[in-house]
Structure 1
């Protein structure tokens, strides 16, 4: 059975009840899965009031209590992973193995926050006078509003929820209306884990209307958003107008630098598989491939041959390795990228078209001989398209990697320590992965620079955006 969709406010699950609803469909089959109720203005006001009331007690809760609840959520994530993963595949489209893997990895996020929230420390500053005592306290910022995307609906939501709750904040979460089942599952797990009413609230609705209403409310003190750069800039400007702290994890256009001393065959196979993860709908997906001219042909052959073996289909089929695009609108967008590439002299060496079948399917695609000003080299495709270009000079390719306003993730393949050090020092990116894909672990910070965001999630930095610093001095 697909997840029952509802609002979650002040510890209560609220169904449609005459509210406006969205039809949720399966992107692989176009079957209708359920109806998602939109929050009314009264619902949003109730959620704000509940979060404000709950904060007055939750802010003083024991870190041990917070840790116990987060631990329970981690346990429930593992126990319910198959069910939650299946529903995620139904409404988002990714292969079932990827969906279940997302849930299991997020159980680690819950465990990590359960441990870290017990270690939110202040400090004592030695005074200039022996009669004076000076302390620095770290306190929860207050009610938080969070907005999460559809591509990793469980992962992106639970990161924010665990950080806010672990810090002693309360939170109102607006998840993705296109793939809501994972967020509903999170609400049910925290509910079952014994989280007090009002600490977590889940609402749905027209994204621009809900975000505007919540951010403008004087009750909300912190805004966290994961999504596109244009929307993130808009929300950050709105939050800034009201002097509210923000964490923004925005889009990227991740450069890949493969040097001539790399393990070429291994790099080609790994990157090809990583490229079609979640049908390329990943903010840290490798999207601009710079291949050294000496190994370009070898890499291209291995990369294309690997993609040719990828089975595209319904995510519930156990043989499927790449599912559909999550939305109907993404298919013509992919076609637009390919058309622009061809107009500018690019060559489509694999794929390049929508699949002739029911659902939002687009074939794994490789394009070569592209100029730097093409759409594929300047705009994030967010799909299964890989543009490959040649390079010969290290300094020049690092300049090209830094030429865009994005700076989320990057990838370097080389067996030279000197080259790896030069690239990792020179690339303007929040994350640099050398010879593997090692980002997004609970214990490591995840975030970008430049237009790709503000702040980090995960690692010891995970609570920074949810805490305020208070200096206390007395005699």
Structure 2
């Protein structure tokens, strides 16, 4: 059975409850997991609070050494971590290996960034004063992570928090607890002090309630749906807790008439069908210039139909299963609604095999604004194509969303590349680049896609307080 990690001890739930986790590719139960609640969460919070003073007092060199050791152990355990990801949520094994590499890079980045927590000395208005700004950790942090990137999402929160001097209580998604367990086994091997990093698993509402209600938690960092993010923000506001939220997305992908069509089509494949379309920054609306639409659809169709569907544990697999039945129902509903309202199926549009969660990579054309797929995040391998005539129209259509996480466009015109990027209301933009995210740059959204940033030097700022000292020296 997979246990929680609280105050350096592997623990069952206080209630004794357990739950079963299935492999979405096979439907088979792969293990049981401790099913905790607010009792376990509060126990972990107390442990994190008790050790906070000593952890935050450590030198940046000491904290950096712990993180660097964790980075090395993660690379040693890469295959084990990658296999855990694939078995739990179906991601192709090669993608899982890539995720572990990125997850480890976040740890390395913040091991180094811990050394760059610079304060300030500000010139005073009078000769008798000295003005100092100190950077100090906010306190114990609660982190909630999703299932679609079950290791890299953890380190993107854990690493900057620990580097800043915070202690952490983390709740992973119920679909992917073993990925978190494997990471915490690495944390244990790195010999972090007891209570610095804690893992709780179980009921989301009750554990989340403990995070928002317990006054010892000073910040909540969350990645997940916009609806849940709003609920957490509202609950956290009662104590004015700090929050950072990476929420839903509905990414536009624009192909201008002067684009390299082969490169753009490859970009669509990478953005839309990676992780079976189950990523928050993946393409949701493909806008293609009317003059090249027919040609581009043909290129894209050929590439989509070459994708290899199967169990993620197989080396050749490029598209794995959807996470569960509700995900399958949502994808089929979006496709059916579009077809019922006049969309045309270019390819796909059905299960790969009856009784499974494998949905064929799909392309739809003649899609309109009245269709559900235009306005809701699909989170599946379905690419709807729209057409446009002018640059102004493409920008207007791309910005017509409550979300503002990621956007993409392809053009060989330098002026257009600069103009469009400046006008798109999105936090992450790929210009001729379907994979713009990287550990050294900020990740986060605008509008209802969230608040705060992860990654880069900005990622650690959310775990720090600026303390101003005005010193009269006379």
When normalised by structure 1's length, the TM-score is 0.97
Residues of 2 paired with 1:377 and 1:448: CA distance? Answer: 19
Residues of 2 paired with 1:211 and 1:202: CA distance? Answer: 13
Specify the alignment match of 1:398 in structure 2. 395
Give SS of 1:112's match.
helix
- Written as runs of structure 1 = structure 2, the 5 A alignment for 1:163-242 is 163-242=160-239
Specify the alignment match of 1:360 in structure 2. 357
Is 1:65 the counterpart of 2:50? The answer is no
Cα offset, 1:16, TM superposition: 5.4
Is 1:120 the counterpart of 2:117? The answer is yes
From 80, 84, 90, the counterpart of 2:81? 84
Residues of 1 paired with 2:263 and 2:46: CA distance? Answer: 54
From 294, 302, 306, the counterpart of 1:305? 302
Post-superposition CA distance 1:108-157 (Å, at most 9, x none): 11110000011101100111222211100110000111100000000111
Q: Cα 1:376–1:452, aligned 2, differ >3 Å: closer, same or farther?
A: same
Is 1:293 the counterpart of 2:282? The answer is no
Q: For the Cα contact (< 8 Å) 1:273–1:306, is it kept in 2?
A: no
Residues of 2 paired with 1:294 and 1:88: CA distance? Answer: 42
Specify the alignment match of 1:254 in structure 2. 251
Is 1:93 the counterpart of 2:90? The answer is yes
Give SS of 2:285's match.
strand
Post-superposition CA distance 1:320-361 (Å, at most 9, x none): 111001112111111100111012111111111122245311
Specify the alignment match of 2:40 in structure 1. 43
Residues of 2 paired with 1:299 and 1:286: CA distance? Answer: 16
Post-superposition CA distance 1:16-40 (Å, at most 9, x none): 5762111101000011111111224
Specify the alignment match of 1:103 in structure 2. 100
From 385, 410, 413, the counterpart of 2:410? 413
Q: For the Cα contact (< 8 Å) 2:252–2:407, is it kept in 1?
A: yes
Contiguous gaps of at least 5 residues in structure 1: none
Specify the alignment match of 1:429 in structure 2. 426
When normalised by structure 2's length, the TM-score is 0.98
Is 1:159 the counterpart of 2:129? The answer is no
Give SS of 2:155's match.
helix
Runs of 4+ residues deviating >6 angstroms: none
Post-superposition CA distance 1:34-55 (Å, at most 9, x none): 1111224432221111011010
Is 1:323 the counterpart of 2:345? The answer is no
Is 1:338 the counterpart of 2:335? The answer is yes
Moved more, 355-364 or 99-108: 355-364
Q: For the Cα contact (< 8 Å) 1:28–1:358, is it kept in 2?
A: no
Q: For the Cα contact (< 8 Å) 2:15–2:36, is it kept in 1?
A: no
Post-superposition CA distance 1:356-382 (Å, at most 9, x none): 245311110111101112111111101
Residues of 1 paired with 2:42 and 2:81: CA distance? Answer: 29
Q: For the Cα contact (< 8 Å) 1:36–1:177, is it kept in 2?
A: no
